[in-house]
Structure 1
Amino acid sequence: MKKLLILTMLLTGCASSYQPHTAFNKSGFNETELTQNHFKITFQGNEKTSAERASDLALLRASELMIAKGCSNFKVLSAANENIGSLVLPQTHKINAYSSTIENRIHADANEFSKVYAPKSTVEVGCATENVGDESKVYASAPINESIRHKYGIGIK
C-alpha cells in the first residue's frame, strides 16, 4: 500500500508520460485508423504538460504507426492544438507538508473554484510517397521517431 501511495504521488506531480489513454489514465495517446494507412492521433496532456510536448508526442505516435505499416514517410494532413480546462474544487484546509499533490496545486481562496488547463494535440496523418520537406509537411518516419524519443528520453537507456 505504501508503494502504491508513493507511486501515485510521483505520477501526479509530473508531465504526462508517453502511454495509451485509458479509463484510469486520462492523459496519453489515442488513435483511430480512418482508412488504410490514414490515422487520427490525439495526445492529451495534464496541467504540467507543455503544448510543445503534447504536439511532439502526437507526432511520435504517428511515426510509430507509420513505421508499423511500412511507411517510410508520412504527411500531416491536419493538426490542431487546444487547452482543455477543468475545474478544481475549492480548498477546504490549509496546505502542509503532508497534503497530497492534488491538494497542494490549488492556490486559490478557499471559497473559489480554480481552473487548470491541459494541452490536447490532434494530428491526422497518412502514408506519403512524396519527398520529405517543410513546405509539404512530409516527415521521414524513423528519423522523427528517433528525434522525439531522444528529446524526451523515451525508451532510451
Structure 2
Amino acid sequence: MSDFYFSNGLFGELDRLQRQMSTLFGNLPSSIRSSRTDAFPPLNIGSTDDSIDVVAFAPGIDPAALEVTVDKGTLTIAGERKAPELASGNETRSYASERFFGTFRRVIELPQNADPDKVEAAYSNGCLTVRIGKREASKPRAITVQ
C-alpha cells in the first residue's frame, strides 16, 4: 500500500495553479500546443513521412475568402467569417454568443524540413486542409548494409 493519498481535490488545485500562472505571465503561448483555447480557427497539426498536415476547422466560411500563404518558414491562414443576416423584422437580441464572427489570422511556424514549393490546400466539409511537403533530404530512407 502506498504512503501517498491523492484526493480528487489535487487535480482541481493543479488547474487553479495553472490558471494563476497563465494570468501571471499574461497568457503568452510558448507553442501551438499551448495557444489560446479560443483562437479561431482551431487547428490540428500532424506529420507523415512525406508531409506536414494542418487542418483548420472553419465551418461557414466561403473558401474563396480564405488566404493561405507560406513565407519565411511560416504558414499563415487568414480570412473572415461573416455574421449571418437576420430576417427583416426579427427582434431577437443576443445575450450570449459563442460562435466567432469577424476577421482572423493564424500564423504557424513550420519545421525546417518543410518545403515551401510543395504546398496544397483544399476546403471540404468546413475543414481547410493544408499539406506542406517535406524536403527530400529530410525524408527517411533505408540504408543497405554491405
TM-score, normalised relative to structure 1: 0.30
Larger of the two Rg values belongs to structure: 2
TM-score, normalised relative to structure 2: 0.32
Q: Higher strand share goes to which structure?
A: 2
Q: Higher helix share goes to which structure?
A: 1
Greater RCO (CA < 8 Å, at least 6 residues apart): 1
